[in-house]
Amino acid sequence: MGFTAAIAFLVMKTGRVSRWRAVFLVVMAWAFVVRFKAQAVGLKAGAFMTEPTQEVPYCHVALSSTILNAAYNQYLALKSGAWRQWGPLSLGFLWLVFTLALGQAWCSWVCYFGGLDEGFSRLLGRFRLRRFSLPPAVRDLPAGVLIFFAVISMTSLTPMFCLWACPIKLTTSFLDPVDAVRKAQTVILVVMAAGTLVLGPLITGKRVFCGLVCPFGAWQSLWGQVNPFRVTLDKESCTRCRLCVWACPTMAIEHGGPGHPRIIPYCNRCGECVDVCPEGAISFTLLGLPSGGQVVAGAGRSPLAELWEVRSLLVFCGLVLGGAVGGVFVPDALRTLAKALLR
């Protein structure tokens, strides 16, 4: 709670949203690794390191990539009256709450997947490919990933993305007991982890997993539109310098040809473009309505007035919900680290 409050203070004090949001997300992501993958990093037997089995714990990425399975199973449960099998419905309601409160911002304020590639994307600083951009057609790759894995998961009745493509599932508890299949899974998962969470972000300075792979990102780009928070470009103030295009870590701002840049639905409200725009032409808004442009710390607004800025409301929602999710595993991660250091 103290850490979350400190991040909120630094955002309000400096006016820099993305910098401190990134610190918050990266810390939470590595706390997740320590808590649930402790054996993999040599600390202890983690909760996910069990005997070889195909049982896969549910997460938001699994929910999106197996949505057809979940819908079918809930149909059977409701039809038979087997209320004990309605558990995934609670996850559905929880997802709805987060979507109404954050929308696509889940990916930049809460998701531990995003925290991993976020950290590596910032590691090399000025040595990364600053002006890397993506052809618009390729940007829809996550939608293809979502559709592909939803269909094959339904036909096989197994969470295929979790078993074959999720870089965080690289532990023995998710691998097939058949040796040949296990080796194939291991190779694919290693390549996915190295390419999308480490090397890709290091080289490009972009969040490769979030921007090009994650099925939940594609899922939220659709359903997140019900959330009122937006990142809006003021064309009258924009000088078309394209700094926002190159700065966007999830490649969610297109060049727009000779015209102004265009923010597409994959935007996850990280605030990087808001921070980098020299003209204050990009800002957080509610339903696209004007909010007064970029907020600069000490720019004449009273602290009470700044609390009601759209930026402040988004930061509040992001830190409260991110802190609530992190509260499930961050304290345990700290205890694990403390015990390891005191050995």
pLDDT in tens, 274-320: 999 999 899 999 887 765 444 444 445 555 556 568 888 899 999 99
Res. 51: pLDDT tops 50: no
pLDDT for the residue 34: 82
Query: What integer pLDDT is reported at residue 275 of this predicted model?
Result: 92
pLDDT for 9 beyond 70: yes
Q: Decide: helix, strand or coil at residue 251.
A: coil
Band of residue 32 on the pLDDT scale cut at 50, 70, 90? confident
Q: What is the pLDDT of residues 203-232, one digit of tens each?
A: 888 999 999 999 999 999 999 989 999 999
pTM: 0.83
Q: Which residue has the tokens 């300075």?
A: 205
Separation between Cα atoms, residue 28 and residue 37, nearest integer Å: 14
Between 71 and 219, residue with greater pLDDT: 219
Asked if the model's pLDDT at residue 46 lies above 50, the reply is no
At 255, the pLDDT band (50, 70, 90 cuts) reads: confident
d(CA 328, CA 278): 39
pLDDT computed for residue 86 by the predictor: 65
Q: What is the overall mean pLDDT for the chain?
A: 81
Helices (H), the chain: 2-14, 17-36, 60-65, 67-80, 87-101, 106-109, 112-123, 141-156, 160-164, 179-192, 200-204, 208, 215-223, 243-247, 272-276, 303-307, 310-326, 330-341
